[in-house]
Amino acid sequence: MKTASIVVPCWITGLPGLIVPDGDELQWFAANCFDRVARFTKNVDYELIVVDNGSTTGIDVMKQYADIYIRNETNLGFGRACNQGFDAATGEFVVCMNNDIFVYEDWLYIMIQEYREYADKLKIGVLSPTFDSERNARTTLMHSTIPVSKGAPVRGMQQAALWMIQSSFFKELHAKYGYWFDPNFHFGFGEDVDLWKRVRLARRDLFFTTKVKVFHQLNTTLGKIPEWGEYTKKSMVYLESKKY
């Protein structure tokens, strides 16, 4: 068994964007995301599970870094792709991570130590880092460390772009509800909120650690989904209709 399984869904389209106006933006982010995971995930026996959600470019990059590569011919949506990765995970901890995240040195080792130390004391179900979305993505690549704070984990979550859960607890939720992420949500909208509700119903809660900070470039994939607002509306209606 690995200590951690890092699940990263990818939909790489070849399109430019705000950060990479003259190239394949999603491939640029994924390549740098994976490179930083490889360089800065120290003292942890982990596997990187990449779920390719019908990408048209970047396949060689994904295969280069992935310990497990899963290919879908069409975009099944964020939640369903993550579920494929969760099914393949063997780690004591499962990490769900967007491909526009840049990590810093020892990020995962510290998060695992935090989870283990405080899981019972605080009833931690899901642990996330602190997020920085204000820095420049390109200059962020120049740094291996970033200033962080001290103290115990804080209740709540700033963003759902990177989070960690203990596999044994995750499997309990799966056994009860029959799924990891509810596959009925559309293209990555609402399945995280649904999971957080189920975590809290199991008398655990969401926390973030101030000892780890990561960079997240907001909406790099979301902004490339045509009429994404319509999917959001449908997912919110479905979420409100759910009975727990």
pLDDT value for 222: 64
* E runs forming strands in 68-204: 68-72, 93-97, 101-102, 124-132, 154-155, 162-166
Q: Enter the CATH code of domain 4-235.
A: 3.90.550.10
* Average pLDDT rounded to a whole number, residues 52-66: 98
Compute the distance between CA of residue 236 and CA of residue 12 in angstroms, rounded to an integer. Answer: 26
Estimate to the nearest angstrom the gap between the alpha carbon of 220 and the chain centroid: 14
Domain-by-domain residue ranges, the chain? 4-235
Estimate to the nearest angstrom the gap between the alpha carbon of 238 and the chain centroid: 22
Position 105 confidence tier, pLDDT thresholds 50, 70, 90: very high
Q: Looking at the DSSP assignment, which residues form a beta bridge with residue 93?
A: 4, 166
Compute the distance between CA of residue 128 and CA of residue 191 in angstroms, rounded to an integer. Answer: 16
Position 224 confidence tier, pLDDT thresholds 50, 70, 90: low
Single pTM value for the model? 0.95
pLDDT value for 80: 95
pLDDT value for 229: 65
Torsion of Cα atoms, 95 then 222 then 188 then 195, to 10°: 50
Q: β-strand 93-97 against 162-166: which pairing, if any? A: antiparallel
Q: Around Cβ 15, how many Cβ atoms within 10 Å?
A: 15
Mean pLDDT lowest among 16-20, 58-62, 66-70: 16-20
On average, the pLDDT of the chain sits at 94
Compute the C-alpha angle 162/31/11, nearest 5°. 65
* Average pLDDT rounded to a whole number, residues 123-139: 94
* Average pLDDT rounded to a whole number, residues 152-160: 96
